[in-house]
Amino acid sequence: MTGLPTSQPSATVRAFAQCLTATPRAARLARHLAVNQLDAWGIPHGSDASDTVALIVAELAANAVTHGRVPGRDFELRLSLVTGSVRIEVTDTRAERHPRTPPPSNLLEETGRGLLLVDELADRWEVLDREPPPGKTVRAEVDLREWPAVRRNVRRWASEGR
């Protein structure tokens, strides 16, 4: 797990948040909502940046539904376009199950690779206690510096005031 720097706060340019029921269907919906929001922010659907964020959202939402589910409680997806990156946050209400990067799993197993994918795809990620308790937030960031065309679109979008 790589930590997020805390010494320099990032300026949030745009934010999106949605509470979703803790069901597999809602986990899939989280991915679609993320892709549509990124497209609205100038990160085109089908671009490498969009696909990377979509995979991270899918894994974190699936984990929230599978491991963080508390009956009758929702999970929250939050996306933030911050200076130079996209921040993904998925919050659930189960406090006692903090995820950590698992060791590489058996290649024949059908589950257990979600956080390995997040660890590989995200530039940084961490787990935070939910405020207010109970629960936790898994936060990941994807730097846009690796995708100059996306960075130009986002800058143009921000200057147009969309």
Q: Sign (positive/negative) of CA torsion 1, 29, 42, 13? A: negative
How many structural domains are present in the chain?
A: 1
- Token pair recorded at residue 13: 């340019």
Determine the pLDDT at residue 35.
Answer: 98
Count CA atoms within 13 Å of residue 160 on its CB side. 10
Q: What's 39's domain CATH number?
A: 3.30.565.10
Could you tell me if residue 143 is inside a domain? yes
Q: What is the pTM of this model?
A: 0.78
Could you tell me if residue 7 is inside a domain? no
pLDDT tens series, the chain, 162 aa: 455 544 455 676 899 999 999 999 999 999 999 999 999 999 999 999 999 999 999 999 999 998 766 666 789 999 999 888 999 999 988 766 656 655 555 555 555 567 788 999 999 999 988 887 788 899 999 999 876 655 555 555 555 555
Could you tell me if residue 151 is inside a domain? yes
Which of 104, 82, 75, 88 is CA-nearest to residue 140?
88
Identify the domain containing residue 154 by its residue range: 12-160
Could you tell me if residue 6 is inside a domain? no
**What is the crossing angle of helices 24-40 and 48-66, to 10°?**
150
8: Cα separation from own chain's centroid? 20
Determine the pLDDT at residue 112.
Answer: 56
Determine the pLDDT at residue 93.
Answer: 83
Could you tell me if residue 4 is inside a domain? no
Could you tell me if residue 2 is inside a domain? no
Determine the pLDDT at residue 141.
Answer: 96
Determine the pLDDT at residue 6.
Answer: 45
Q: How far is residue 39's CA from residue 76's CA, in Å, rounded to a whole number?
A: 20
Could you tell me if residue 76 is inside a domain? yes
Could you tell me if residue 1 is inside a domain? no
